[in-house]
Chain A
Amino acid sequence: MSMNRREFLKIAGVSTIAGLGGTAVFSHLGKNSLEAVQTSPNTDALTGKQWGMVIDMDKLKSEETIKKVTEACHRIHNVPDFGNPKDEVKWIWTETFEHSFPGQEHKYMSEDMMHKPFLLLCNHCTDPACVRVCPTKATFKRKDGIVMQDMHRCIGCRFCMAACPFGARSFNYRDPRGKDANGNPFIKEENKEYPTRMIGVVEKCTFCVERIEKGLKPACVEESNGALVFGDIDDPASEIRRILNSQYTIRRKPELGTGPNIYYIIGGNDYAVVPEIR
């Protein structure tokens, strides 16, 4: 082991401070030094205590926008397309009202509402069941509320998939870096800026953590023409809180206590034919 003068002085200095400052230094080191950096040191990075999202179905009308939203997400995150529903990997997708909010539908609901394509994604729950059950801490909750997945630690036991009440998680039943029988890659155009995953691990939406670190909003929000609003639910001055304060919103399965952080403005029915009162 060799040590140059500069390093020696550094260590000597730190040791002296430790000696003088006593336990405060060590308790500080003990508490924080071993934890992975959870938020970016980048000063442009967006900061928050619990990221959340409002999806305004009144503004999410065109199929084109929905397609842009889901495709942008899956493209930039190298989400593989295995071409069959059994092995499917998806981070953001649409479901009808009755499948997004099972038990909330009723038979007198308008066709329009019943078949509205609600955007579904990970709810980045306040008290996530997936994090609670993971046997290796491969899935964890960051200080900014994002529920993350460590692809290098995941053992592929799929306990999190059994635990998530929102069906937000996908498992790589095949090698996402591979090709189908016709030689077409499962990731059509690889985005070199974002890692691909390996076979046998679970993945899901990350709220575009890599974009938040650069001060950008999630890709789905950017592509949504204002239908998706992203922000810090913990900040009373945020736009998202202003919306939650002024509009009626619902969440998926709040009764299960996981504290989902995706809110939906389900919207009225513009095309409803009101039967004439005779």
Chain B
Amino acid sequence: MLEKALSGSKKYWTWIFILLVFIGIGTVNYLRQFQTGLTITGLSRDVSWGLYIGQFTFLVGVAASGVMLVLPYYLHNFKQFAKITILGEFLAVSAVTMCMLFIFVDMGQPMRIMNVLLYPTPNSVMFWDAFVLSGYLALNIIVGWVVLGSEKNGIAPPKWVKPLIYLSIAWAPSIHTVTAFLYSGLPGRHFWLSAIMAARFLASAFAAGPALLIILALIIRKFTKFDPGKEAVQTLGKIVTYFMITNVFFFGLEFFTAFYSNIPGHMHPFQYLFAGIGEYNKLVPLMWTSVILAIASIALLIFPAVRRNESTLAIACAMVFISLWIDKGFGLIIGGFVPNMFETVTEYWPTMPEALITIGVWAVGLLVLTILYKIAITVREETAGVEIEH
């Protein structure tokens, strides 16, 4: 089926070319980082994780959200998702690929990455994260590819793939739970040491991922002959709404616990992120942008009329996505490091090479997504009208 990615319109190739340019720029900058070290990033002794690990965390959520399409279809026989489960699976493949690349570019000694497998360490959450992420990647590649291949040949998918689909449904929340455990199990990082971390991760994931899927579905409908379906988009809109409200609620719980208990260590990261501590306030505008977008998006999404209009739905989804990207892809990580272990403040801001490497990795993810979607959509266009039960 791969050959289907090799023929496309002028627009398709232009898009591929643009992505390759960004991948090239990212690669050049990464080679520089490989040579001179992570000193070229904004990371420091006090803030030792930043944009890369933030993107990793955010994208694990996007990957996990594929289950929001797979679950209703396979467990509840929700037919409207029949055509688009593949979009969720392939989005997961692309997102996990990016996750792995972000871990890779964050490493001080990337050539030693196999040490994680050579010296398996079950007491390290990172070991489990590597395990669940690669498992989830494999599951989604296999399931997506086999189901699509069968569809292309006009036959029902083989029986053995069903157990793998059920496994992937259970597996999806695990990847984001384990990722939350990376943070919530550390002593002394007040911002992360919270039992609701995993739940909040899942809530934000199931809002951000489907929001992205809605936008992708609308783009696909505009540029191809494949229609992901009006009903499917509407249902996704409801999912985004509920989980965005849940996410904001969970955040409110964190906020309440920190401020009503009045424990200084618990309040400091919130103060830094939303008000600044002394002259240190680099993240304040960004965090408030996130808050305003979150509230505004909910205010839009709760009205059925707004959701029914696909243009306003798309705008609200973009707001959800950006809000959660700031919250999880940036604020969450930095809030864990500021103030530092000495209750002093070292600020962090990504550097230009760091940002370009980050964009490069996103471009790789978008390239993987484009190729996989191109294949899926071409198959769909060819088999249009033929319904196969799977």
Say yes or no for B112: interface residue by CB 8 A criterion.
Answer: yes
> What is the CA–CA distance of A133 and B186 in the complex, to the nearest angstrom?
9
Residues of A within 8 A of B36 (CB): 174-175
Tell me the dominant secondary structure on chain A's binding face: loop
A134-B49 CB under 8 A given contacts A129-B186, A155-B113, A253-B188: no
User: In chain A, what residue has the closest Cβ to B130?
Assistant: A135
Q: Is the CB of B343 within 8 A of A258?
A: no
Among B103-111, B217-225, B293-301, which stretch is in contact with chain A? B103-111
Q: Identify which of B49, B108, B123 contacts A132 (C-beta below 8 A).
A: B123
Among A20-28, A45-53, A163-171, A221-229, which stretch is in contact with chain B? A163-171
Q: Is the CB of A162 within 8 A of B336?
A: yes
Instruction: Name the distance in Å between A255's Cβ and chain B's nearest Cβ.
Output: 9
Q: Identify which of B38, B115, B125, B130 contacts A200 (C-beta below 8 A).
A: B38
Listed residue (B118, B121, B123) with the most chain A CB atoms within 10 angstroms of its CB: B121
> What is the CA–CA distance of A86 and B41 in the complex, to the nearest angstrom?
10
Say yes or no for A14: interface residue by CB 8 A criterion.
Answer: no
> What is the CA–CA distance of A173 and B108 in the complex, to the nearest angstrom?
8
Instruction: Name the distance in Å between A128's Cβ and chain B's nearest Cβ.
Output: 10
Q: Is the CB of A257 within 8 A of B187?
A: yes
Q: Is the CB of B124 within 8 A of A103?
A: no
Q: Is the CB of B107 within 8 A of A162?
A: no
Say yes or no for A251: interface residue by CB 8 A criterion.
Answer: no
Residues of A within 8 A of B49 (CB): 158, 162
Interface string of A88-102 (1 = CB under 8 A from B): 110000010011101
Say yes or no for B160: interface residue by CB 8 A criterion.
Answer: no
> What is the CA–CA distance of A20 and B124 in the complex, to the nearest angstrom?
41
Say yes or no for A172: interface residue by CB 8 A criterion.
Answer: yes
Q: Is the CB of A170 within 8 A of B121?
A: no
Q: Is the CB of B336 within 8 A of A165?
A: no
Instruction: Name the distance in Å between B121's Cβ and chain A's nearest Cβ.
Output: 5
Instruction: Name the distance in Å between B305's Cβ and chain A's nearest Cβ.
Output: 45
Interface string of A145-156 (1 = CB under 8 A from B): 000000001111
User: In chain A, what residue has the closest Cβ to B112?
Assistant: A155
A172-B108 CB under 8 A given contacts A86-B44, A87-B45, A200-B38: yes
Residues of B within 8 A of A121 (CB): none
A199-B124 CB under 8 A given contacts A135-B130, A155-B116: no
List, sorted by A's number, 27 A–B pairs whose CB atoms are closer than 8 Å.
Answer: A85-B45, A86-B43, A86-B45, A99-B343, A99-B344, A102-B342, A103-B264, A135-B121, A136-B112, A136-B116, A138-B119, A155-B115, A155-B116, A156-B107, A158-B108, A162-B49, A163-B186, A164-B188, A165-B341, A167-B45, A170-B45, A171-B48, A173-B39, A175-B36, A200-B37, A201-B108, A253-B188
Binding site for B on A (CB under 8 A): 82, 85-89, 95, 98-100, 102-103, 129, 132-138, 153-159, 161-167, 170-175, 198-202, 253, 256-258
List 10 A-B pairs, minimum CB-CB distance, nearest first.
A156-B108, A200-B108, A165-B188, A167-B341, A135-B126, A102-B343, A99-B342, A256-B187, A173-B39, A86-B44
